[in-house]
Structures are given as structure tokens and as C-alpha cells.
Amino acid sequence: MTNKIIKVAIVGAAGYTGEELIRLISGHPCLEIGCITSREYAGQHVASVFPRFSEWNLSFVEPNIDTIASSCELAFLCLPHGLAIEFAVPLSDKGVKIIDLSADFRLRDPEAYKHYYDLEHPASELLDTAVYGLPEKHRESIRSSSFVACPGCYPTSIILPVAPLLKAEVASPDDIIVCSMSGVSGAGKKVALPFLFSECRDSVRSYNIKAHRHIPEIEQELSDSSPHGTVGLTFIPHLIPINRGLHSTIILSPCRQNVTVDDIARIFHDHYGSEPFVRMLPCGSLADTKNVIYSNTCEIGFDFDPRTEKILLTSAIDNLTKGASGQAIQCLNIMYGLDEGTGLA
């Protein structure tokens, strides 16, 4: 494999997922940045936003379709939902492969998109084309796709531990309870009062508890894995004073008698025994964000509580890596037939 042959663009590169992509690409032997775009910082050197990349000969450019298309064969879209569509469609038409980190192409159902994002999807015919970029679940589709919609950070931390237990019919899909805790970088680089240091540092709070936009993609993917269809999901996200890192605690009810931890261990081993980016902990051990920050790994713990008859799952990821940019690189590696861990050591 010759180094640095795939030219990529990062559209909307001035935020945290853009920064993480630049960091990861800088250590990836086969990627070269064709352009990075930012409306706000066009014309400025990358170091004006990210001093740590001052050694790079790289400046932000205006997000122009032709400029992007002519400078890369694959574009990462790090844009707000709604705006991502405006780039994904014309770039895709010009033959540019797309890895979209926004929510615009994650849902197959345009009604769900409209309900949760309050927006009529203007390119709903593409929703079936895009592949949900969770490699552990859709690796083969990603391999042959040129349009990948990367999952949200919460969904990644939830689908990975839950899907195998639904598929194996040991856990009931009817009553899935999830409490998640996210670092503040998960809110993006949004200059707003609630995300000031002094507002966050002593704050633990849930938010959007009835209508978080990650709910429909979690439901979509878990329903997929559930032999008998739709799932009932209670999802309570929290913001806590860490920067990177996301932790989910998941409570499931067994859907049949006599589920044992050995059963669960076997199911997880079968699913994830050879996955490079899933770390199954021994039964009873508990996931910890400390073990995954700055890595692309999802750590998963499991246990069964005979007192309450609940299956207890914990998971931890870095929201910017496995929850966003690292997963995007993992998808790219698959799309190009590279070793899946390239640049993600």
C-alpha cells in the first residue's frame, strides 16, 4: 500500500469533530487532506483555530461544491443537520464519496426525520442509499457503499451493547431503559450560555428527556435487530462536566426464564470476539470513560442482577472518536479495503 493516496475533504472543519478528523488524518498513512472548509474562517490558516496544527500547510477555504469536488475523492461532512444535505447531494452527484457525520441520512423513514428534526427531508429518495455507518453492524454494506451516514455518539454507545441481546432474544425489546452521560464536547462548539465553563463545571443535568434527536436512530437500529420488531426505548441523556467521553447505563429485562450471565457472555463473545474496536469486559466489570478517551474503542460491561431480574449493561466511548470522527475513519478504512484500524491505533 502506498502512503497518502486518498485525498479527502473536511466540510465544516472548524468544530470539534473537524479537529478530531484532522488529528486522526495526520496519523493515517493513506490519507491526504485536499481541503478543509469553513465559512467563518475561510482564508485563515488552520492554526488560527487549532494552534496544535500550526506545522501543517493548510488553510480553510469557502465551502464551495466545485472546490471541494475537485480537491478530493471523499468528503467528510461535519455540518449541522439540514445543511449537510445541501452538500451531500451535489457532491455525491459529482462522484465524491460521502461520509456524513450529521443526522441527515441516518434515518430511513422521512417521517421520523420530519418529526424529530422539524424539517421536510428534501432528498428522501437518498435515505435508502445511505448506509448507517456502524461497522460492527453494517460492515458489508459499508464496504460497498459510497455514501455513509455516521451514527450519533449516544446511538453508538447504546446499539453496540443492546443489539446482540435483542437479536439473540434474551432481552425484551419492550422496555429498554438508558441513562447516558456525555461530555460537553458532545454539544459541539456552540457559543451559548449553557455551555460556558462556569455554567457546566458544577452542573449535572439531564436534557431533552422526551425528544432527543438520537431516539429515532436508536429505535431504527434496535428494531432491525429485534426479531419481533419495534422496541420501547426510554432514553435519558445527561450533560456532565467532562470534556470528551460518553457513558451509557442500560437496563433490560430478560425475555425468557433462566437467562444466565454465561448465556450473555457467549452472545457477546460470538458477536464481538474478533471486533477490533469493541472491548468486552469480564462479567461484573463496569465500563469507564477513562479507558477509552482518545481511542476508537467501545468498552462494554455486562451483568445480571438476580434480585431485580434485570440485565445491566454499561458502555463507554470517546464521543469525538468512536462517537464521531474515529468511526468515520473506520468506515473509510472499510470502504477502501484498508486494515480497519489504520490510523486509529
| Spatial distance between the Cα atoms of 311 and 333, rounded to a whole number of angstroms | 34
| Spatial distance between the Cα atoms of 180 and 218, rounded to a whole number of angstroms | 13
- Using DSSP's 3-state secondary structure scheme, residue 199 falls into helix
Nearer residue to its own copies within complex by CB, 126 or 317: 317
The sign one gets for the Cα dihedral 140, 13, 189, 92 is: negative
Nearer residue to its own copies within complex by CB, 6 or 68: 6
| Spatial distance between the Cα atoms of 166 and 273, rounded to a whole number of angstroms | 18
Site for its own copies in 225-244 (CB under 8 A): 232-234, 236, 238, 240-244
Nearer residue to its own copies within complex by CB, 95 or 211: 211
CB of 273 to its own copies, least distance (A): 12
Q: How would you class 65 by CB atoms within 10 Å of its CB: exposed for 0-12, middle for 13-18, buried for 19 or more?
A: middle
Choose, from 30, 78, 150, 153, the residue flagged as catalytic. Answer: 153
**Residue 255 within binding range of its own copies, rule CB under 8 A:** no
Q: How would you class 333 by CB atoms within 10 Å of its CB: exposed for 0-12, middle for 13-18, buried for 19 or more?
A: buried
**Residue 2 within binding range of its own copies, rule CB under 8 A:** no
**Residue 202 within binding range of its own copies, rule CB under 8 A:** yes
**Residue 325 within binding range of its own copies, rule CB under 8 A:** no
Nearer residue to its own copies within complex by CB, 16 or 147: 16
Cβ atoms within 10 Å, residue 136: 19
CB of 93 to its own copies, least distance (A): 35
Q: Which residues make Cβ contacts (< 8 Å) with residue 110, sequence separation at least 6?
A: 120, 121, 124, 127
The sign one gets for the Cα dihedral 192, 237, 156, 53 is: positive
Q: Which stretch binds its own copies (CB under 8 A): 2-10, 66-74, 120-128, 297-305?
A: 297-305
153 is catalytic: yes
CB of 239 to its own copies, least distance (A): 9
Which member of 196, 260, 262, 339 binds its own copies (CB under 8 A)?
Answer: 196
Q: Which stretch binds its own copies (CB under 8 A): 176-184, 256-264, 266-274, 328-336?
A: 176-184
Query: Pairing mode, if any, of strands 74-77 and 97-100?
Result: parallel
**Residue 265 within binding range of its own copies, rule CB under 8 A:** no
Query: Pairing mode, if any, of strands 310-317 and 246-252?
Result: antiparallel
Q: Which three cell numbers stand for residue 84?
A: 449537510
**Residue 342 within binding range of its own copies, rule CB under 8 A:** no
Site for its own copies in 87-146 (CB under 8 A): none
Site for its own copies in 268-287 (CB under 8 A): 279, 281, 285-287
Query: Binding-site residue total for its own copies (CB under 8 A)?
Result: 72
| Spatial distance between the Cα atoms of 103 and 125, rounded to a whole number of angstroms | 16
Site for its own copies in 53-92 (CB under 8 A): 54-55
Nearer residue to its own copies within complex by CB, 98 or 186: 186
**Residue 293 within binding range of its own copies, rule CB under 8 A:** yes
Q: Which three cell numbers stand for residue 4?
A: 497518502
Query: Pairing mode, if any, of strands 97-100 and 147-149?
Result: parallel
Task: Give the catalytic positions in this structure.
Answer: 153
